[in-house]
Chains A and B, each alone.
Chain A
Amino acid sequence: MSLNCPLFDCDLIVESIPKMLEGIGLTIELLFESAVLGLTLAIILLLMRISGRWYLVAPTMVYIYIFRGTPILVQIFIIYHGLPQLDFVRESILWPIFREPYGCAIVALTLNTGAYVSEILRGGVLGVNRGLTEAAAALGLSVRQRFIYITAPIAIRLCLPAYSNDVISLMKSTALVSTITLLDMTGIARTIVAETYAPYEVFISLMFIYLILTWVIQRTFGVVEKRLSRHVRSEV
């Protein structure tokens, strides 16, 4: 079966797509793992950031500043290429993680997204109407109870749009692991292009695959947002 396309080599497109899709498992794995780990890290950072204790707040702010102020590619390189230079890394029990590109990728993506998401969560927390936490305090709820039952549920709903954007960014960042030898979809695409000199067919098809992934993520969050907002018409 040979397709006859005027401008593009459609046979190549049909051939390449399945090959690139072999990498989708890796893409999704990277996305999922670093999203979950990153969210956990973000929650820890958030709690430190709002704790009010300077010895927790200051390091957190420095961490966030560094990870949001430097390119993620550089962060990936520092972890993958750079850490092996340090003796104590090579000798530590974590070395098996850092020795492999996959481990380095997860660490880099997690540390990076953790910084961004913690700021997003903080935005949500700050957006919670102060009167509501005061009312909870007036009823006698402890600080911890106020946070869990009042602040958190409302903050989560408030920061969902920004969080969904960050998950999409994270998905896009996974393509960078192709620079440290991992064969995700982008990595596979690059090898195909190197052999066939057909950047348009390969990269444009890959682009469509990513756009579909983006759409899936957006729709999923759209559904979640709708469910969580059913009680909202206008909030005092």
Chain B
Amino acid sequence: MEAVTGWWDDFFWGSLVVVELFIVAIFLTVLFGLIGAGAKLSGNPVAKSIANAYTIVFRGTPEILVLLLFYFGSAVALTAIAQVFDPEIKFVDIPPFWAGSLAIALIVGSYATETFRGAFLGVDPGQVEAARALGLSNLKTFMYVRIPAMWRLALPPFGNHMLSLIKDTALIAVIGLEETLFVAEQAIGTTGKPFTMYIVVGGIYLGFSTIITLSVMVLEKYANKHLEVAR
């Protein structure tokens, strides 16, 4: 384990990158999930077909393929565009951070679409009727009645989505993002101890998963506390 000394701060910075990725990706995931669920529930046939295509494509394609496609695809497009302006340019890419977070958010967003859709459908229609009968506008009903109810149902599966998300961040190393796996590779280069280094990476991710799982447990308790009291 002494081999790792000297590399701890690099791993730390790598972990920070993971955290940044995760935060960006969560926002995008929730966004895509809500848009997708909204489209599927909207009744508009065009929106529904697009949303269906979205979920089918992104749930059926390997994550690494989506990443490669996004990154190299965007690089090729950008490079072509840039070369129009300056033929000397060899390669322009979207930074792996953004290509990566967009890609994994789209992937997990397709699962989140189904989760949110199911959760919206699971909201007790009686509650919504009561809100309308009380005179709450559509928007207010949506914000104060539907969303809280939906969130409670969506939380457990969404916790799983978050776990998928944090684990998918590791894949972004494949397109060159300098996070923990990258640090590990450098460390292996100088220390010659791949097992040790990759175990450290594993440990970092295990730590993140644990934090997420515990946070979800706390959030679930909070979301359900009004039910606890009734017992």
Contacts and interface: CB of A to CB of B under 8 A. Distances in A.
Interface in B185-224: 188, 192-199, 201-202, 205-206, 209-210, 213
A204 interface: yes
A120 to B, nearest CB: 12
Interface residues of B, number: 40
A20 B205 CA distance: 33
A74 B125 CA distance: 45
Secondary structure type dominating chain B contacts: helix
B63 interface: yes
Interface in A150-184: 168, 171-176, 178-179
Contacts of B202: 66, 70, 74-75, 78
A81 B188 CA distance: 10
B69 A83 contact: no
B94 interface: no
Contacts of A175: 62-65
Secondary structure type dominating chain A contacts: helix
Interface stretch (B38-46, B132-140, B147-155, B163-171): B163-171
Nearest to A80: B194
A215 interface: yes
Contact of A211 (B56, B173, B210): B56
A125 B122 CA distance: 25
A186 B62 contact: yes
A84 B168 CA distance: 25
Contacts of A198: 76
11 contacts: A69-B210, A73-B173, A73-B181, A74-B181, A78-B199, A82-B198, A168-B60, A176-B62, A176-B64, A179-B64, A200-B69
